[in-house]
């Protein structure tokens, strides 16, 4: 099985901040390897199970230590690289 959360959206965090509804897709990869049939509406119990597993794993993730670069940040030149 494969769960897709907010598939086809450029930035899930931006979509969540704007109040867009979460889009979920569910595929049975054993029977539909090309992911053409979204089973989310037909298999709500499996969708709920997969969503709970996704949430559990998401809560375990470690936040990144690096911070976003400032808007005026420029990468240093590499030795031998032309200007």
pTM listed for this prediction: 0.61
Q: What is the pLDDT of residue 79?
A: 78
**CA nearest to 47, candidates 26, 23, 21, 22:** 26
Q: Strand, coil or helix: what is 2?
A: strand
First to last CA, the chain: 50
pLDDT (tens digit per residue) in 2-42 = 999 886 656 555 655 666 678 899 999 999 999 999 999 99
CA distance 5 to 27: 12
């Amino acid at each position: 099985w494969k769960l897709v959360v907010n598939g086809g959206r450029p930035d899930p965090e931006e979509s969540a901040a704007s109040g867009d509804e979460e889009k979920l897709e569910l595929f049975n990869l054993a029977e539909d390897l090309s992911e053409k049939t979204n089973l989310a509406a037909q298999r709500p119990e499996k969708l709920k199970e997969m969503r709970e597993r996704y949430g559990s794993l998401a809560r375990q993730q470690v936040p990144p230590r690096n911070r976003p670069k400032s808007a005026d940040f420029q990468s240093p030149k590499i030795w031998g690289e032309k200007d």
